[in-house]
Amino acid sequence: MNRLTNKQIILGVTGGIAAYKSAELVRGLQKAGAKVRVVMTSSACEFITPLTLQALSGNPVHIDLLDTKAEAAMGHIELARWADLVLIAPASASFISRLSRGSGEDLLSTLCLATDSQIALAPAMNQAMWRDSATQTNLEMLTEKGVKILGPDEGEQACGDVGLGRMLDVDQLLIEVREFFQSHELNGRHVMITAGPTREAIDPVRYISNESSGKMGFAMAEAAVDAGAKVTLVTGPVNLETPEHVERIDVISTADMHRAVFKNLPNCDIFIGSAAVADYRPTQVADRKIKKGDEDHAMTIELIRNPDIIAEVAASASRPFTVGFAAETHNLIEYAQKKLKQKNLDLIIANDVADKQIGFNSNDNEVTLISRKDSTVLPKMSKAKLARLLIDQLAQHYLSSKQEADV
Ligand code: PMT
């Protein structure tokens, strides 16, 4: 089961005998579908060669903070932003101490200071070092800051001592990492998501469509699965792999999407409209390719309004919690708020599609999540990371709306 598909993990390796297990960990993470980049401290390089981890991860290993070549390829700030999770395994007592002091003496500790992502440590050290009050105080400080401590395990140690301090087994670490990406917030809920563009035929070989790639909707589907939901993804024509455990329904036109959505609406708890649905379709679809006449300098195609799928979902008798997206090139927040009310949505996620770095077809997005009461800006990040934050916020809104309804 590849439960880490598309997750971006930085594996930090520090100096300790357990560093040899990092090789197996890189393989295990990749086998589970994760993208892995390795950052080593200089003392880690005494225990395992960067070449081994480079060959296994398929990416250059980052070691020095002041390496201009490495910084030019992917600088430490970029690395810090790239990560969904920074996993430090093994984490030595010395590194734990540096991290608790917030020291940016080396690349790995600097990266930990710069990242907004979750940091997890798998301590590995001698049992006396583990029990030492300095280590325990450092770990308490890190736990308070939100760093997750994975292990350690108990047993025989490389130095011959027996006790707590061994790094968790690779299999156990993989379970913990998978667990990190599972929120369970939407356990037992059915989420339906629309994604991609719709295509409106003009004749057998031509159509009207838009630039949507489906990336945002597919990322939302993956994040909803990670949150424990049963997910139905109704998608227009896109070139993307189906996320694991997602029921995918392929459609072409708005009419197809409308049909698929209403067929699957019974028992749907949350509906998310991330598709860029064509607002209009040609009144007539020619059954043969339209030929241009010698004298024709212009041609007119009459369009008719398509049904508004999300507005109809929000107006349906068994109305699910309904979340829209608003793609705008100007007056973003004003237009999004208008759509929230006009379509009677619970939430709307506004994105600026005039900016080529975000929105349509890019890997990143920057959005404002708007409710009837307030709004939250989520800065530019990968669509995968953003989707996890959005699903988390959306689940909180959904669950509190349920609680209010139950009172
Ligand atoms: O697919 P990507 O390349 O990753 O790009 C993502 C995205 C920019 C397409 C996505 O983030 C996004 O903004 N999707 C909504 C695009 C859109 O059509 O917005 P809209 O403002 O026209 O529509 C508002 C809402 O009504 C949307 O939830 C839309 O799905 C829904 N709608 C619109 C028209 C229609 N006939 N039926 C609908 O359900």
Question: Which domains does the chain carry?
Answer: 8-179 (3.40.50.1950), 190-284+300-406 (3.40.50.10300)
Which residue of 325, 329, 339, 366 sits with most ligand 1 atoms within 8 Å of its CB, as the best mutation to test the pocket?
Answer: 325
In single-letter form, the type of residue at position 72 comes to A
Q: Ligand 1 mean position to 159 CA, how many Å?
A: 60
pLDDT in tens, 102-144: 988 899 999 999 998 999 999 999 999 999 999 999 999 999 9
pLDDT of residue 67: 72
pLDDT of residue 73: 66
SS3 for 130-167 is: HHCHHHHHHHHHHHHCCCEECCCEEEECCCCCEEEEEC
* Mean pLDDT, range 348-372, rounded to an integer: 92
Determine if residue 154 is left, alpha or beta; phi over 0 gives left, psi from -120 to 50 gives alpha, anything else beta.
beta
Residues 6+ apart with CB under 8 A from 318: 265, 266, 268
163: pLDDT strictly greater than 90: no
In single-letter form, the type of residue at position 266 comes to P
Residue minimizing CA distance to atom 18 of ligand 1: 276
Q: Ligand 1 mean position to 272 CA, how many Å?
A: 10
Which residue of 256, 261, 274 sits with most ligand 1 atoms within 8 Å of its CB, as the best mutation to test the pocket?
Answer: 274
pLDDT of residue 296: 80
**Ligand 1 lining (C-beta closer than 6 Å):** 194, 196, 212-217, 254, 273-277, 279, 306, 308-310, 324-327, 339, 351, 353, 359-361
Residues 6+ apart with CB under 8 A from 23: 48, 52, 53, 56
Q: Ligand 1 mean position to 351 CA, how many Å?
A: 10
CA distance 2 to 216: 20
Average pLDDT across the chain, whole number:
94
CA distance 182 to 225: 8
- Sign for the pseudo-dihedral over CA of 218, 259, 340, 211: positive
Q: Ligand 1 mean position to 397 CA, how many Å?
A: 21
45 catalytic per annotation: no
pLDDT of residue 75: 76
Residue environment code for 19-30, b if the CB has 16+ CB neighbours within 10 A, otherwise e:
bebbbebbebbb
Which two three-digit tokens encode residue 186? 């939407």
CA distance 32 to 2: 4
1: pLDDT strictly greater than 60: no
179: pLDDT strictly greater than 80: yes
Q: Ligand 1 mean position to 279 CA, how many Å?
A: 10
* Mean pLDDT, range 285-299, rounded to an integer: 89
Q: Write phi, then psi, for 91 (nearest 5 degrees).
A: -105, 115
CA distance 130 to 124: 8
Which two three-digit tokens encode residue 201? 């035929």
CA distance 299 to 286: 14
Residue minimizing CA distance to atom 10 of ligand 1: 274
Residue minimizing CA distance to atom 1 of ligand 1: 214
pLDDT in tens, 221-276: 999 999 999 999 999 999 999 999 999 999 999 999 999 999 999 999 999 999 99
pLDDT of residue 2: 62
* Mean pLDDT, range 39-50, rounded to an integer: 96
Which residue of 192, 238, 310 sits with most ligand 1 atoms within 8 Å of its CB, as the best mutation to test the pocket?
Answer: 310
pLDDT of residue 392: 95
pLDDT in tens, 59-90: 999 998 777 776 666 778 888 989 999 999 99
Q: Which atom of ligand 1 is nearest to the CA of 215?
A: 4
Reference 52, options 81, 22, 82; nearest CA is: 22
| Cα-to-chain-centroid distance, residue 31 | 18
Q: Write phi, then psi, for 271 (nearest 5 degrees).
A: -115, 130
Only one residue has tokens 């590849």, namely: 2
Alpha carbon separation from 250 to 218, 314, 359 (Å, rounded): 13, 22, 22
Q: Which atom of ligand 1 is nearest to the CA of 365?
A: 11
Q: What percent of the chain has pLDDT over 70?
A: 98
Q: Ligand 1 mean position to 388 CA, how many Å?
A: 19
SS3 for 105-126 is: CCHHHHHHHHCCCEEEEEECCC
Q: What percent of the chain has pLDDT over 90?
A: 82
Q: Residue 8 belongs to what H/E stretch?
A: strand 8-13
* Mean pLDDT, range 375-393, rounded to an integer: 94
Helix/strand/coil for 371: strand
Q: Which atom of ligand 1 is nearest to the CA of 313?
A: 39
| Residue 359: band (very low, low, confident or very high) from pLDDT cuts 50, 70, 90 | confident
Q: Which atom of ligand 1 is nearest to the CA of 353?
A: 8
Q: Ligand 1 mean position to 107 CA, how many Å?
A: 41
| 8 A C-beta contact, residue 354 and residue 360 | no
Indicate which residue of 45, 112, 159, 268 is catalytic: 159
